[in-house]
Amino acid sequence: MQPRDFDNELTYLTHKQNGEEEAFHEAYDEAVESVREELGQSHGLQIEGEAVDTDSTFTVTSPGNQDLEIGEFAAGTEQDVDAAVRAAKEKFPDWEALDTSARVEIFQDAADIMRDRKYELAATVSLENGKNRTEAMADVDEAIDFLDFYSSEFERSNGYEFDTGEPTPGQHTKNLLRPYGVFGVISPFNFPMALVAGMTSGALVAGNTVVVKPASTTPLVAHKYVDILHQAGLPEGVLNLVMGGGSDVGQPLVEHEDVSGIAFTGSRKVGLNIQETFMELGKRGPVIAELGGKNPVIVSNTADIDKAVEGVKKGAFSFSGQKCSATSRVYVHEDVIDEFTDQLVSEAEELTIGRASERDTFVSPLIDDSALEYYQEITEEARSDGTIRTGGNVVSDGELSQGRFVEPTVVTDIPHEHKLAREEHFLPFVTIHPISDFDEGISKSNDSEYGLCAGLFSEDEEEIDQWFNEIESGMTYVNRNQSATTGALVQAQPFGGWKFSGTTGKFAGGYWYVQQFMREQSRTRVE
């Protein structure tokens, strides 16, 4: 069967193609101004459609300017989680019983509201998590795509219900997928709009009710998303928002006896912990977890070096490497490694480091103090065990001193076995390793516990075929100068990991995602 037509949102690209880049920038700049005016407010939890205040709160500041307060947010407790889960449980039967088309319409309407408010939402993403304007808009675009794709695909598939006829006389049969009940959704900071929207809408479209806990650094975007769904007609209590720390709120959500399944995106450590908790408690529902990566790229001696440099630079340093898909280790044929590395170093030095909302910013700030400390730790280690070819320093010139800015870092002379070449960093830090033939590149790429994204630069058809067949990775990209490993589109480039990069083998934004939030039932009725 042919995949259906689906149009990705692609806001920036479309403006660029139509010669309307200035209009994009103007609309974004205006949105930043108006979002700044509304910052600094207090926000409660959202349980059964009501704002709930709590005894303690936490303050979020902008990573690029810590003097800018994003807001004050209610910090939930185990009791608040319990109230949210109870609300979700109570609403579940009615939500499951709602007509497929009525359910789908809510998500289509929410996607429309997000289209109308996309500049405001992108500006909010930039100010809250530090992502530059084109990346922030891509985050919002992806959220719209998730709502649109999951809901319309669910409708096109008739809610995953088949009439299987009368296999023997008098037995009338049906086969269908049904939701589990209440899902907990726990999201990371780095795609604060797309991942909150993607995971919650997967669960909700399927007919589950949800309690969502966003990353503590990005609650405002999650708040806006929940408001938009209510505005689009989502009944109160179907989606509830709790905020607060991972162990204060996330852990009780995972452990709650009425939470049937979890959708999680974040680090391997927390994700695997959630899976173990489920097993220990004897819970039978799914843990749909998207985890980290240590994404390898091979640059063959047949590669177009300009393309390879551009792809690695963008893959490693966009959003300061704070992407699960970030390029992190590059295996370069010894014939071309000097040329490749010199060019990468000089281009990395040209990248503009700055606040997210500045037009020219490529390298944006780090999310929190622990990321900054980790950067200092690994660059120190790289200095002693290898060679830092460029980068390795914190940047604090002028207004940048108010944020957490660091230089994009290119490192050589680190052995393939070294922990810097094996552990995920989530920072603008890439290691370059020589290989003497293509097979060595493939075996070193695969010698990792992760299997999220991988890239290849080669002009040789045989190498390309071999690589597609042998690389152990969920997403695979050949000769992609736009970015060697990052930037997947809903429907065409479903996103997920092999090995320790994911738990289900089914990918976000793909045709088999929503079914994971459901279980099968076969129905026989004799007449």
Sheet-wide strand order for 182-186: 50-52, 45-47, 239-241, 209-213, 182-186, 259-265, 287-290
Q: Provide, rounded to whole angstroms, the least separation between the CB of residue 219 and ligand NAP.
A: 9
Under rule CB under 6 A, residue 510 binds ligand NAP: no
Per-residue contact flags (x/-) with ligand NAP for residues 177 to 196, judged by CB under 6 A: ---------xxxxxx-----
Is the C-alpha dihedral spanning 82, 83, 86, 88 positive or negative? Answer: negative
User: Which residues partner with 363 through β-bridges?
Assistant: 353
Q: Which of 68, 204, 324, 348 binds ligand NAP (CB under 6 A)?
A: 324
Q: Provide, rounded to whole angstroms, the least separation between the CB of residue 111 and ligand NAP.
A: 21
Distances (CA, A) of 491 to 326, 345, 390: 20, 35, 37
362 and 138 in contact (C-beta within 8 Å)?
no
Q: Looking at beta carbons only, is 162 or 512 nearer to ligand NAP? A: 512
Under rule CB under 6 A, residue 57 binds ligand NAP: no
Q: Looking at beta carbons only, is 409 or 473 nearer to ligand NAP? A: 473
The one-letter amino acid code at 165 reads: G
445 and 328 in contact (C-beta within 8 Å)?
no
Q: Provide, rounded to whole angstroms, the least separation between the CB of residue 501 and ligand NAP.
A: 6
Q: Looking at beta carbons only, is 57 or 479 nearer to ligand NAP? A: 57
Q: Which span sits near ligand NAP by CB under 6 A: 58-66, 82-90, 138-146, 210-218? A: 210-218
Under rule CB under 6 A, residue 364 binds ligand NAP: no
Q: Which span sits near ligand NAP by CB under 6 A: 244-252, 385-393, 432-440, 518-526? A: 244-252
Rounded to whole angstroms, the Cα distance separating 132 from 372 reads: 18
Q: Looking at beta carbons only, is 409 or 501 nearer to ligand NAP? A: 501
Q: Which phi and psi (to 5°) does residue 207 adopt?
A: 105, 5
Under rule CB under 6 A, residue 128 binds ligand NAP: no
Give me the DSSP letters along 271-315. Answer: HHHHHHHHHHTT--S-EEEE----EEEEE-TTS-HHHHHHHHHHH
Under rule CB under 6 A, residue 245 binds ligand NAP: yes
Q: Provide, rounded to whole angstroms, the least separation between the CB of residue 254 and ligand NAP.
A: 6
Q: Which of 144, 177, 215, 432 binds ligand NAP (CB under 6 A)?
A: 215
Under rule CB under 6 A, residue 424 binds ligand NAP: yes
Rounded to whole angstroms, the Cα distance separating 490 from 511 reads: 10
Half-sphere exposure of 69 (CA within 13 A, CB side): 9
Under rule CB under 6 A, residue 320 binds ligand NAP: no
Nearest CA among 77, 112, 99, 82 for reference residue 154: 99
Under rule CB under 6 A, residue 27 binds ligand NAP: no
Per-residue contact flags (x/-) with ligand NAP for residues 376 to 415, judged by CB under 6 A: ----------------------------------------
Enumerate residues 247-276 that contact ligand NAP by CB under 6 A: 247, 250-251, 254, 265-267, 270, 273
Rounded to whole angstroms, the Cα distance separating 184 from 200 reads: 9
Rounded to whole angstroms, the Cα distance separating 100 from 206 reads: 9
Q: Provide, rounded to whole angstroms, the least separation between the CB of residue 322 and ligand NAP.
A: 7
Q: Looking at beta carbons only, is 250 or 286 nearer to ligand NAP? A: 250
Q: Provide, rounded to whole angstroms, the least separation between the CB of residue 23 and ligand NAP.
A: 30
Residue in 9, 142, 290, 407 annotated catalytic:
290
* Residue recorded with tokens 């060679």: 387
Q: Looking at beta carbons only, is 178 or 499 nearer to ligand NAP? A: 499
Alpha carbon 434 to its chain centroid, in Å, reads: 31
* Residue recorded with tokens 């999680």: 264
Under rule CB under 6 A, residue 318 binds ligand NAP: no
Q: Which span sits near ligand NAP by CB under 6 A: 100-108, 129-137, 287-295, 347-355? A: 287-295
Q: Looking at beta carbons only, is 177 or 508 nearer to ligand NAP? A: 508
Under rule CB under 6 A, residue 220 binds ligand NAP: no
209 and 89 in contact (C-beta within 8 Å)?
yes
472 and 324 in contact (C-beta within 8 Å)?
no
Under rule CB under 6 A, residue 138 binds ligand NAP: no
Rounded to whole angstroms, the Cα distance separating 107 from 102 reads: 9
Q: Which phi and psi (to 5°) does residue 324 adopt?
A: -60, -25
Nearest CA among 377, 200, 364, 207 for reference residue 288: 200
Q: Looking at beta carbons only, is 141 or 424 nearer to ligand NAP? A: 424
165 and 173 in contact (C-beta within 8 Å)?
yes
Under rule CB under 6 A, residue 200 binds ligand NAP: no
Residue in 324, 347, 407, 453 annotated catalytic:
324
- Tell me if residue 339 is catalytic: no
Q: Looking at beta carbons only, is 240 or 301 nearer to ligand NAP? A: 240
Q: What would the two tokens of residue 228 be? A: 């938009």
Q: Which span sits near ligand NAP by CB under 6 A: 53-61, 240-248, 393-401, 480-488? A: 240-248
Under rule CB under 6 A, residue 429 binds ligand NAP: no
Alpha carbon 169 to its chain centroid, in Å, reads: 50
Q: Which residues contact 493 (CB under 8 A, 6 or more apart)?
A: 475, 509
- Tell me if residue 128 is catalytic: no
Rounded to whole angstroms, the Cα distance separating 423 from 426 reads: 10
Return residues touching ligand NAP (CB under 6 A).
186-191, 213, 215-216, 245-247, 250-251, 254, 265-267, 270, 273, 290-293, 324, 424, 426, 452, 495, 497, 501
Residues annotated as catalytic are 290, 324
